[in-house]
A and B are shown apart, each in its own frame.
Chain A
Amino acid sequence: QKEVEQNSGPLSVPEGAIASLNCTYSDRGSQSFFWYRQYSGKSPELIMFIYSNGDKEDGRFTAQLNKASQYVSLLIRDSQPSDSATYLCAVNGLNTGFQKLVFGTGTRLLVSP
């Protein structure tokens, strides 16, 4: 079982719709969760992080965490063509006292005009 699993997609949504990206993780001890956006040919860019169960909103983005189900999601409201990218879910691994992010393979999002 992979440590962090994502559907590779592509996930296709029309402009203005809500895009829902999902991620599951295997390590129950994980404490912090991150979403990165990666445009083609570019490096990953942090867009959100969440530590507590529930929702965290930042502009058009909402991260949702359910530790009991070991599930993290990212909702993008009013999707724009510029949101077309690969979205990487990352989980902070075993508590070593340092950050150590384990990444999923990413979900490719396509937003059509």
Chain B
Amino acid sequence: EAGVAQSPRYKIIEKRQSVAFWCNPISGHATLYWYQQILGQGPKLLIQFQNNGVVDDSQLPKDRFSAERLKGVDSTLKIQPAKLEDSAVYLCASSSRDRAGGYTFGSGTRLTVV
């Protein structure tokens, strides 16, 4: 089965600019997650979708971050305006409806804000 697809792989932007990341989950996986991983830290959940509805966005900085999952498949995560501290790897993951087995992560997008 094809894995979780993410693009772009790398992005360098100046602070106060905007950026968007894209994720296509594994076919049939209803749950989609966006995580932020700052260098030297573990992944931190930003937002969790079940189909096209938001399950948890408690740690999403909503003043600058937004995410959507149209038609319950692909998802985009946007940052506007970016800050230096947003430099991180943004990981998308998906899982099937049952609660077993953990997630499959995509290759991630490495964002550098200068």
Contact = CB atoms under 8 A, between A and B. Distances in A.
Interface in A26-51: 32, 34, 36, 42-46, 49
B106 A99 contact: no
Interface in B34-79: 35, 40-45, 48, 50, 55-56
B43 A103 contact: yes
A99 B99 contact: yes
Contact of A34 (B41, B48, B102, B107): B102
Given A43-B108, A88-B43, A96 B102 contact: no
Given A32-B100, A43-B107, A90-B102, A98 B43 contact: no
A9 to B, nearest CB: 11
Nearest to B6: A43
A51 to B, nearest CB: 8
A101 B50 CA distance: 14
Interface in A59-104: 88, 90, 92, 96-104
Contacts of B106: 43
Contact of B99 (A98, A103, A104): A98
Contacts of B108: 43
A103 B42 contact: yes
Contacts of B102: 34, 36, 46, 49, 90, 99, 101
Contacts of A100: 45, 48, 55-56
B91 interface: yes
A106 B42 CA distance: 6
A112 interface: no
Contacts of A103: 35, 42-44
6 contacts: A42-B107, A88-B42, A100-B55, A100-B56, A101-B45, A103-B42
